[in-house]
Structure 1
Amino acid sequence: MLQDVSIVQQIGVAVLAVATVVWAVGLVRMMRRDRYEGPFDAEAWGQAPSLRALPAQQGPPRNETVELTADERAAFAGLVRQFGEGRN
């Protein structure tokens, strides 16, 4: 069976197999190193690095409102009725 496969293909399979093993070993080592008591472990959560590139969150986002004209409200009500008819 191996005589039907070229040497380049055999080397390719070997390289992919080695890369897979190296990746799996690295993943296991990383998971074991970063393991802590649980997802809500306060001590580990406090030590987690912050994302400095993101702006500080002050709280939930503010609601934005836009006043609609009477024509816009009527058009929106018509769309709601039109889409509601398809559900019956």
Structure 2
Amino acid sequence: MPEHVSILQLTGAAVLALATVAWVVGLTRVLRRSLAEPTAWHAAHPLYGLPSQRATPPHVESVELTPAERDAFAGLVRQLSDGR
């Protein structure tokens, strides 16, 4: 054991190394299980981590403008399009 390293540092390094090994073993088991034999659910949902797409588009909201607002918007469009 090195002289300049405390027992707490050695214990921490050992615990960290054991946790890393346990994580790698667990990850390997999960990946092997998911890649070994795809189930019917996996075949139907190849990207099961992502939500499925909606069948219909989201509701579009619209607001009716008053004649004054329409005129103001038309004026703004004319003002912004003058340079083009």
Same fold, judged at TM 0.5 (above): yes
- Structure of larger gyration radius: 2
Backbone CA RMSD of aligned residues = 3.7
Mapped partners of 1:10, 1:24: distance in 2: 21
Deviation (angstroms), 1:25: 0.5
Mapped partners of 1:77, 1:42: distance in 2: 57
Q: Deviations over 1:1-54 (max 9, x none)?
A: 8211100000000000000110111011001111267xxx79333676xxxxxx
Aligned residue for 1:53?
Answer: none
Identity of aligned residues (%): 43
Q: Is 1:65 matched up with 2:55?
A: no
Aligned residue for 2:32?
Answer: 32
Q: Give the count of matched residue pairs.
A: 68
What stretches of structure 1 move > 4 A for 4+ residues in a row? 74-78
Which one has more relative contact order, counting CA pairs under 8 Å at least 6 apart?
1
**Normalising by the residue count of structure 2, what TM-score does the alignment of the two structures yield?**
0.55
CA distance 1:42–1:22, shift in 2 (3 Å): closer
Residue ranges of structure 2 left out of the alignment (5+ in a row): 46-53
Q: Deviations over 1:47-81 (max 9, x none)?
A: 76xxxxxxxx5522122223342376369759xxx
Residue ranges of structure 1 left out of the alignment (5+ in a row): 49-56, 79-83
